[in-house]
Structure 1
Amino acid sequence: MTWSSPYIAAGTGNYINSLLTGFGFNNCLSGSFRRYVRMELNELKRLEPDIIFLPSEPYNYTIADKIKFEKFFPGAKVVLVDGEMFCWYGSRMEKAGGYLKDLFKGLGVVRESRES
């Protein structure tokens, strides 16, 4: 997710998607062919995501948001993440690889970067 009111999630052809697919994840919105997808939570629920990342930016998701998503998506892991590591390319890229490896290990989701 990248925004709330309206909900917007990362689709394809953007930095967030490239980062996640580089670590072996499949974006459930990859079939949308749009960079950012405006959607209702019911639409996302139909896609049955395994993990939902709620970043600190560009929209600052909170613990209250996490609880709301956990109730709405009981089968998914809902994780608050550092938005800079997911959304900012450039100087943040140096730190992003280590941050993501640690995050995914902590979630019990061990994925290796395709570049490793």
Structure 2
Amino acid sequence: MRVVSLVPSLTEAVAVSVPGVLAGATDWCTHPAALDVVRVGGTKNPRTDRIVALAPDLVIANEEENREPDLAALRAAGVEVLVTEVRDVPQAFRELDRVLRACGARSRPRWLDAAEEAWTAPVRREPRGRAVVPVWRRPWTVLGRDTFAGDVLARLGVDHVHAAHEDRYPRIPLAELRAAAPDLVVLPDEPYRFTRDDGPEAFPGLPCALVSGRHLTWYGPSLAEAPRVLGAALRAAHP
């Protein structure tokens, strides 16, 4: 079995669950750290010619991470493509099961059981917090409706301001973000790398939680520790 992954979180999930099947992955596939496979470009601009040359049995992708024209080009070249959709935590577990089976896993990995167990009793937070959650700046872009990261936060007791917006990742002017008067601003370190010196200064007077983007947005082995890691970061910023 030869697999190419175009999704960093799925790359990690497959690498630790079905060792040896990955033939290629994107430049952004940073976990596991020792992963030694052919790099095929970015998630949004993969080298489809390089992927085809690897002669994979399967390419795994995601409807949000990857562009349909690239996936269509792979299919036209005769490559089988499995496209996942992950909008909430339960769906993440279902899709991980599907991907790992398709990649030849003979049994359910222990980390997946541990992850599901970790999310059966989400961290309780009373009263619930209300947050603005930027994922990019220049222009400012935030979590909107129907996102995996939004569901993760909701299960940890934090509702985000733009959850009912018509767009999944709306661009909102900074003045409008401030005017929403959230209890908290959640700043992940990916896809935009917010840091203590790049992000919080835009929201003077508001508590800011700098959180791990891998724990907020990835659906893979990091799900097992995400409730603990994210819960601690949120409580530290806004007890």
Q: TM-score, normalised by structure 1?
A: 0.80
Q: Which residue of 2 aligns with 1:47?
A: 180
- Cα offset, 1:64, TM superposition: 1.9
Q: Which residue of 1 aligns with 2:213?
A: 83
Distance in 1 separating the partners of 2:188 and 2:226: 13
Distance 1:53 1:25, change over 3 A: same
Q: Which residue of 2 aligns with 1:114?
A: none
Distance in 2 separating the partners of 1:56 and 1:65: 10
Answering whether residue 139 of structure 2 is matched by residue 9 of structure 1, we say no
Contact preservation (8 Å) 1:69, 1:78: no
Q: Which residue of 1 aligns with 2:20?
A: none
Answering whether residue 198 of structure 2 is matched by residue 68 of structure 1, we say no
- Cα offset, 1:99, TM superposition: 0.6
Please give the per-residue CA displacement for 1:32-90, whole angstroms capped at 9, x wherever unaligned. Answer: 1321111110111121111111111111012222442242xx1x211221111111112
RMSD of aligned residue pairs (Cα, Å): 1.6
For 1:85, the aligned partner's letter is: H
Distance in 1 separating the partners of 2:195 and 2:233: 18
The residue matched to 1:35 in structure 2 has which SS? Answer: coil
For 1:14, the aligned partner's letter is: T
Contact preservation (8 Å) 2:156, 2:227: no
Contact preservation (8 Å) 1:56, 1:82: yes
The residue matched to 1:30 in structure 2 has which SS? Answer: coil
Q: Which has the higher contact order (CA 8 A, sep 6+)?
A: 1
Q: Which residue of 1 aligns with 2:108?
A: none
- Cα offset, 1:27, TM superposition: 1.1
Contact preservation (8 Å) 2:186, 2:208: yes
Distance in 1 separating the partners of 2:174 and 2:203: 12
Q: Which residue of 1 aligns with 2:230?
A: 100
The residue matched to 1:59 in structure 2 has which SS? Answer: coil
Based on CA coordinates, which of the two structures has the bigger radius of gyration? 2
What is the identity percentage for the equivalent residue pairs of Structure 1 and Structure 2? Answer: 26
Distance 1:105 1:61, change over 3 A: closer
The residue matched to 1:11 in structure 2 has which SS? Answer: coil
Answering whether residue 152 of structure 2 is matched by residue 19 of structure 1, we say yes
Distance in 1 separating the partners of 2:161 and 2:233: 20
Q: TM-score, normalised by structure 2?
A: 0.41
